[in-house]
Chains A and B, each alone.
Chain A
Amino acid sequence: MTPDVALPLLVLALPFAAFLLLAVVGPLRRTGRPAGLVSIAAIAISFAAALTVWARELVAERTWGWIPADGGPIATVGVLVDPLANAMLVLVTLVALLVQVYSLAYLGDERPGALGRYYTYQSLFVFSMLGLVLAPGFVQMFVFWELVGLCSYLLIGFWYERPAAARAAVKAFWITKLGDVGFIVGIVLLWSATGTFEFTDLFEKAQANALAVPGLATIMFLIYLGAVGKSAQFPLHVWLPDAMEGPTPVSALIHAATMVTAGVYMVTRTEPLFALVPEVLTLIAWVGAFTALLAATMACVEGDIKRVLAYSTVSQLGYMMAAAGAGASPAGFLHLLTHGLFKALLFLAAGAVIHAVGTNDIFRMGGLFRAMPQTAVVFVVGTLALAGVPPLAGFFSKEAVLGGVWEAHLTGPFLMLALTALLTAFYMFRVVFVAFFGRAHAGGHPHEAPWLMRGPLWLLAILTLAVGIRLALGGGEAHEEAPGWLPPLSVGLATVGFVLAWAMYQRGAVDPARVAAVLRPLDYLARRRYGLDGLYAGVYRGIILGLSRLIGWIDRYLVDGILNALTALTLRAGDALRYIQSGRAQDYVYGVAFGVLLLFVWAQLWRR
């Protein structure tokens, strides 16, 4: 315990203060732009503080009791600062800052009230995400885990009057909640077995081999389920593409760079615990690699630029998870960081495009390179990074992931990830060729975005390049052990993907429709998202709603029916017995005489 946590607390407190101010002071919130400036100012200072924390390589922990109990608090809140958290702090505050600046222009047409609401949610999100990153134990992590989910729900549903947005928001909440059910059960079981939620305690026990808890594999699997939901792993990935109904800057921040990586962060954070259960790790690697491949195939047939990026996010999250599962969590985390940069870049660039042409459909874009060259350049930078082309940031982290998976002798996942690398280059360049080159389709006159939007784009593009160069020069330790044939292989795969996309969508040498016809079953399945969305809808409508209707009927007409029947019978009995009280004296005398007779008989027969 060091008292050196003032700075991390400041990082955490500023967005919260902004949120509180905007949430409570209605008149300020309803001003729109000034509200946005408040939020941006808070996050800017927060970013500066996060940079300082990172530069100082601060390591500290401080906790306070949160839920008291007889023998010391059950759960605590606090901050845990270490290199992992520091890097994440910088990423979160940086991307959040750029996204919030960008949003000022992107959402400039919104009503002031709505814009104020947007920045209120944004501030709450940044606070929650930072709280998650700094969590010193499972309870705090879960608390903020749910809060970022809430912000995601609110921001996907930002345009709540649109039915599609409302549906997508609710779907995102439900599907991630499904994973969180596993998460909370896992936490409860872990607490029962070990008596603590605190990471430091748990890690110490893990190191001292004092965590030989029966069923630890089950517990860690349940906790991993939370990450499956949040980080959109198969089979709970279905919410993320729909989440694109939210404003594009939200997609960039929450559904690409930060929140969706919370699952990866959690697995990386609790790596000492997962290391005890190799079978779960292997599962994580397989699921991650499978997710990566599955999402990549769906990205290849998608025409909506944001959805392509969403599938690509799912796919890259699969990479990170596969690395974590292969025991190469530093590689996974590196990929998380670099991906955060270039995916935010891609989303924001896509937002600039959508802003200019007013559609998400890449086949209604075309020839945008001429109209908006700067956006096109940064988009290509992001694409190259995502495809894994040196010396951009994505190349090194992706190679580290592949190397890690290979080192762990996970041949199956390795092959899937390699194939994914090829597909990634293919679907990204497909977007580049169709949207930015080729024939111009868009009516009107698309134009370059205002500086408020272009500034963040250029900054992210430069960072993508700079981080890549930095990794090329010095940060080589992550891929030192990787076999020498790996870099050529991954560059080769990217090149094949590029050439395929070029041949199909630029050169026109191969007709995409013919390729689709050849791969007909696969094309059919990928376009229908492998039927998973339909399956969930069916389970929801058929099983959950059906069961509820059944129970509702039973309650109304059986449980309550028995009661009403008893009531009615009582009423009837009362009606019948009413005639006893006839008001005629002779009836009563008969009654008395009959009673005396009965008493007499009873006395004679049973008394003795």
Chain B
Amino acid sequence: MAPLTVPVLSIITWSPFVGALLIMFTARHRPRAVRLISAATTGISAVLSLWIYVAYERENAGFQFYEKLPLVPPLGISYELGVDGISLLLVLLTSIIIVAGVFASWTVAVRSQEFYALLLALVTGVYGVFVSLDLFVLFLFYELAVLPMYLLIGIWGSSGEVRPRGIFAWAYRETGVGTKEYAAMKLTLYLLFGSAFILVGILALYVNAGSGSFSFLDFEATAFPRPLQRWVFLAFYVGFGILAGIWPLHTWSPDGHASAPTAVSMLHAGVLMKLGAYGVVRVGMGLLPDAAVDLAWLVGTIACVNIVYGALSSMAQTDLKYVIAYSSVSHMGIVMLGAATLTEAGLNGSVFQMFAHGVMTGLFFALVGLVYEKSHSREIGKMGGFGKLMPGIATAFTVGGLSSLGLPATAGFVAELLTFLGAWRSAHSWWLYPAVAGTFLTAVYVLRVVKQIFWGPPSPHFHDLVDARGPEWVALVGLVAVLVLFGMVPWLAIAPIDTATVPLLARIVTP
């Protein structure tokens, strides 16, 4: 943990923020400059995160590229950064998605200056959460990652239509379900509601540890009493879990992701949901090992509900964006299930699924955005025969779908296989069955959608459809390549993950 002369992690984290400032102050009414600054600053982060991925010393596992700078010494708050095998991969994921997102939103015309500035500020928050080792700073970054979403959806989003039905129909009329304002408000309030739990949890640990420090490493060295661990774990589980889309607190996700503009959906479903899962694993399980064992049954069982329920809900949707959004609910179930197994295979699968799902869903939302842009429709029932006119989009969608249903040679398979192995070896071996059933249901809804949209005779509702072009290809080709590469050579990711999960498990299983 020798302090590095160049603060790589800080540069990765703050580079997009600097980009946001530059855009706000120098690039007014110069859309081209806005895009170039965004591409450059996120590009810097991306290159550096690839570099730390390669340079990370796997033999000396633990937190590397360590930086520390006291912020508020009397309270023990310091700016403390470091990455281990888990956060390393998630930083890389964030870079991949944001670069793809910048290219996917190349065509945003309305107030692109503010759009990109908010997007970049948000990404700084995401990087910050993944690299922070100080829980107070982590919380600040967490809020930074959540809040810009409100504006991004509220201003650049799109509204859908939901008919008020059922016994709560009166409430639907009063809240304006379906509009983008509703979706933005729902997402933000829901996530802030969750972060209140997180804050309470962090403060409870701070007070009880009594070491006068918010450092993760100090907390890690403290053995908290079991009853305290349990309710704090629950607070973290609910708080972070909301962002990870745990059932039944997931309903912000379909509405939010369906209303959000393309790059925001990509980033939110691709990376922000991982913040939640990362929080549960890193903060919840990492600091509260006894509670992790005691409450694994809850986490895993809810995860199983997520998998099957999300897949079935996805199948029922008629709006393409909702299909993808619900598939995230289902796939995040695999992430949480893998973590709940408390086995090496399961935990590796969980982290790998965070990565795989991030890339996959980023790809999906990029594609849905493209399909929408070309056809001005999200109604699956109206579409048909698009494959002939947009073969590139069709191919990318199929690859994404195959990864989603866990086809080998895509990243999704390795993640699911490891999770299955872990599930059967866990204390609750029945978890295997819902997980496997979920993959079958995924095959049903994914191929159904592919067939409806891209196969069959061309739909009479659409004319002048064209394939992706120019910068749009960057996102598609890049994301497809990553999915296939990590599916064929999984040890690229699993070797570093393993260096982090094994010590984590050693703390949990043998207290």
Tell me whether A548 and B312 are in contact (CB under 8 A).
yes
Instruction: Output the least CB separation between A413 and chain B (Å).
Output: 31
Closest to A182 in B: B436
Closest to A163 in B: B456
Q: Assuming A170-B448, A558-B166, is B174 touching A571 (CB within 8 A)?
A: yes
Tell me whether B171 and A544 are in contact (CB under 8 A).
no
Instruction: Output the least CB separation between B153 and chain A (Å).
Output: 17
Tell me whether B316 and A557 are in contact (CB under 8 A).
no
The reply on B413 being an interface residue by CB < 8 A is yes
The reply on B282 being an interface residue by CB < 8 A is no
Spot the interface stretch: A441-449, A482-490, A514-522, A561-569: A561-569
Give the interface centre of B168, B255, B344 by most chain A CB atoms within 10 Å: B168
Tell me whether B455 and A161 are in contact (CB under 8 A).
yes
The reply on A139 being an interface residue by CB < 8 A is yes
Q: Scan B475-511; emit 1 where CB is below 8 A from any A CB, else 0.
A: 0000000000000001100110010001000000000
Instruction: Output the least CB separation between B330 and chain A (Å).
Output: 11
Q: Assuming A174-B447, A548-B316, is B458 touching A564 (CB within 8 A)?
A: no
The reply on B299 being an interface residue by CB < 8 A is no
Where chain B touches its partner, the secondary structure class is helix
Tell me whether A555 and B444 are in contact (CB under 8 A).
no
The reply on A355 being an interface residue by CB < 8 A is no
The reply on A525 being an interface residue by CB < 8 A is no
In which size bucket is the chain A interface? 35 or more
Residues of A within 8 A of B445 (CB): 548
Residues of B within 8 A of A75 (CB): 417
Closest to B309 in A: A551
Tell me whether B407 and A146 are in contact (CB under 8 A).
yes
The reply on B177 being an interface residue by CB < 8 A is yes
Rounded to whole angstroms, the CA-CA distance of A66 and B448 in the bound complex is 32
Tell me whether A166 and B490 are in contact (CB under 8 A).
no
A-B pair count, CB < 8 Å, reads: 162
Q: Assuming A161-B455, A564-B168, is B175 touching A548 (CB within 8 A)?
A: no
Rounded to whole angstroms, the CA-CA distance of A143 and B348 in the bound complex is 19
Residues of B within 8 A of A162 (CB): 457
The reply on A55 being an interface residue by CB < 8 A is no
Residues of A within 8 A of B498 (CB): 68-70
The reply on B454 being an interface residue by CB < 8 A is yes
The reply on B93 being an interface residue by CB < 8 A is no
Residues of B within 8 A of A568 (CB): 170-171, 174-175
The reply on B167 being an interface residue by CB < 8 A is yes
The reply on A4 being an interface residue by CB < 8 A is no
Rounded to whole angstroms, the CA-CA distance of A326 and B418 in the bound complex is 35
Rounded to whole angstroms, the CA-CA distance of A545 and B445 in the bound complex is 10
Spot the interface stretch: A186-194, A495-503, A591-599: A186-194
Rounded to whole angstroms, the CA-CA distance of A267 and B316 in the bound complex is 38
Residues of A within 8 A of B312 (CB): 547-548, 551-552
Residues of B within 8 A of A275 (CB): none
Point out the residue from A69, A181, A547, A557 that lies within 8 Å of B348, measured CB to CB.
A69
Tell me whether B165 and A161 are in contact (CB under 8 A).
no
Q: Scan B409-423; emit 1 where CB is below 8 A from any A CB, else 0.
A: 100011001101100
Rounded to whole angstroms, the CA-CA distance of A571 and B177 in the bound complex is 14
B298-343 contacts to A (CB < 8 Å) = 309, 312-317
Residues of B within 8 A of A567 (CB): 171, 174-175, 186
Tell me whether A192 and B424 are in contact (CB under 8 A).
yes
Tell me whether B457 and A174 are in contact (CB under 8 A).
no
Rounded to whole angstroms, the CA-CA distance of A146 and B413 in the bound complex is 10
Tell me whether B316 and A184 are in contact (CB under 8 A).
no
Tell me whether B171 and A565 are in contact (CB under 8 A).
yes
Q: Assuming A146-B407, A188-B420, A188-B424, is B316 touching A552 (CB within 8 A)?
A: yes
Instruction: Output the least CB separation between B318 and chain A (Å).
Output: 9
- Across the A-B interface, the 5 shortest Cβ-Cβ residue pairs: A552-B316, A561-B168, A557-B166, A143-B408, A548-B315
Chain B interface residues (CB < 8 Å from chain A)? 162, 165-172, 174-175, 177, 186, 248, 251, 255, 309, 312-317, 344-345, 348, 385, 387-388, 402, 407-409, 413-414, 417-418, 420-421, 424-425, 432-433, 436-437, 439-441, 443-445, 447-448, 451, 454-458, 490-491, 494-495, 498, 502
**Sampled A-B contacts (8; CB under 8 Å):** A69-B345, A70-B344, A160-B454, A161-B385, A181-B436, A188-B417, A561-B172, A567-B175
Chain A interface residues (CB < 8 Å from chain B)? 65-70, 73-75, 139, 142-144, 146-147, 150, 153, 157, 160-163, 166-167, 169-170, 173-174, 177-178, 181, 184-185, 188-189, 191-192, 540, 544-545, 547-549, 551-553, 555-565, 567-569, 571-572
